[in-house]
Structure 1
Amino acid sequence: MTSTQERRILCSNRRARYEYQIEEVIEAGIVLTGTEVKSLRDGKADLKDSYAAIDGQEAYLFNCHISPYTAGNRFNPDPNRKRKLLLNRIEIARFVGKVQEKGLTLIPLSFYLTRRKIKLELALARGKKLYDKRETLKQRAMTKEMDQLTRGRADRDRR
C-alpha cells in the first residue's frame, strides 16, 4: 500500500494473531446497511468470535457484532446477522480448496476505511496448538526484557 492510500483502522481482532498462525491475508469488501456503516465509523463493532465461510459460490461473515446506531432512524438490522463478503470467484474457489484440503480457516483481522470505503482484512489461518501459544508468549517476554535492558543502558549513558 502506498503512502497516498490512508488506512484508518475501525475495529481489529487482536486475539486472532495470538490464536492463529496467519498464512495469507486478503482484502475483501463487505455489504453493509447505512446505519451499520455509521456504527462502524464510531468504532462500535466486535470481531472477537467471528469467522468467514463460503456458502455455495459466495463468502459470508458470521458472528460479527456491529452495535445498532443509536442516533439514526428506527431501522437497525440484527447486530449479529451474516454479512456478504465481496470477493471475486477466483479468490472464492482458491479459498474453498485450501479450507477443505489443508484444514485452514478464514478469520477476519480488521475493519478499515480506505478511500471512503469500508474493507475487511481476511486471513487464511491455521489454529495454534497450546505449545505454540506458550512459545509466542516466551518470545514476547524476551523481546520486552531486551528492550527494557537496552533502554536502561541508554538512560545510564545519558547521565
Structure 2
Amino acid sequence: MAAGNIIAVNRKARHEYFVLETFEAGIELVGTEVKSIRQGGVNLKDSWCGVDDGELYIKGMHISPYDKGNIFNKDPFRVRKLLMHKREIMRLYGKIKQDGLTLIPLSLYFKNSNVKVELGLCKGKQLHDKRDDMAKRDAKREMDRAMKQRLKG
C-alpha cells in the first residue's frame, strides 16, 4: 500500500503480529515535525493506535525535535491524531473491541506532499509462531545460498 517515498518501517510489527488487514491514514503534524521527518528523525518501534471519543490517535511514535527549530518544537512522544473517515474508524473500533485485535503502524511515507501512515489490523503471535517464521526464513536463506554456490561452480 505504501506507494510514495517510504520514511520509516516498523520491522518489529511483522515479527510480533499477524497482519490481517492494512489501511492508509493521514496524520496531523506541525511544521517542525514534518521537517524532522524529512531528515529521517522518526521511530515507529513501540507505537500503537487507539480510538478515543470516536477519533483515532497514534501513541508512542517518536519524532525527534527539529534541530533548527526553537520554541515551535513539540514533545517527541506526543499523541498525534490520525485522519480517517468516521465510518472506517468505527469499523476498526468494533474489530478491536470485539475480536481483541490491535492497530499497529506499519510504515510512514510521503504520498505527494502529505505524510501518510500505513496501519495494520493485527493479531499477536505466540512464541511458536515466531519460531516457525524464523525457521522458514533460515531454510529459505540456506536454499538461496546453496543455489548461489551451485550457479557459481
Partner of 1:20: 17
Query: Which 5+ residue runs of structure 1 have no aligned equivalent?
Result: none
Tell me the SS of whatever aligns to 1:101. Answer: helix
Give the TM-score normalised by the residue count of structure 2: 0.97
Partner of 1:80: 77
Pairwise CA RMSD: 1.2
- CA 1:100–1:6: 2 relative to 1, 3 Å: closer
Residue 74 of structure 1: CA displacement? 2.7
Residue 104 of structure 1: CA displacement? 0.3
**Separation in 1, partners of 2:44, 2:53:** 23
Tell me the SS of whatever aligns to 2:139. Answer: helix
Q: Which residue among 146, 150, 155 is the counterpart of 2:152? A: 155
Q: Which amino acid aligns with 1:118?
A: V
**Separation in 2, partners of 1:27, 1:41:** 19
Partner of 2:119: 122
**Separation in 1, partners of 2:18, 2:28:** 27
**Separation in 2, partners of 1:17, 1:41:** 24
Query: Which 5+ residue runs of structure 2 have no aligned equivalent?
Result: none
Q: Which residue among 47, 62, 65 is the counterpart of 1:68? A: 65
**Separation in 1, partners of 2:79, 2:22:** 21
Tell me the SS of whatever aligns to 1:80. Answer: coil
Q: Which residue among 9, 14, 17 is the counterpart of 2:6? A: 9
**Separation in 2, partners of 1:90, 1:136:** 35
**Separation in 2, partners of 1:23, 1:94:** 14
- 8 A Cα contact 1:6 1:115, kept in partner: no
Q: Which amino acid aligns with 2:130?
A: K
Count matched residues.
153
Give the 5 Å matches for 1:131-142.
Answer: 131-142=128-139
Tell me the SS of whatever aligns to 2:106. Answer: strand
Q: Which residue among 70, 89, 107 is the counterpart of 1:92? A: 89
Residue 6 of structure 1: CA displacement? 5.3
Give the TM-score normalised by the residue count of structure 1: 0.93
Post-superposition CA distance 1:92-131 (Å, at most 9, x none): 1110111011110000011101111110010000010000
Q: Which residue among 13, 22, 26 is the counterpart of 1:29? A: 26
Q: Which amino acid aligns with 1:102?
A: D
User: Whose Rg is larger?
Assistant: 1
Post-superposition CA distance 1:2-54 (Å, at most 9, x none): xxx95111111111000000000000000000000000111101111110000
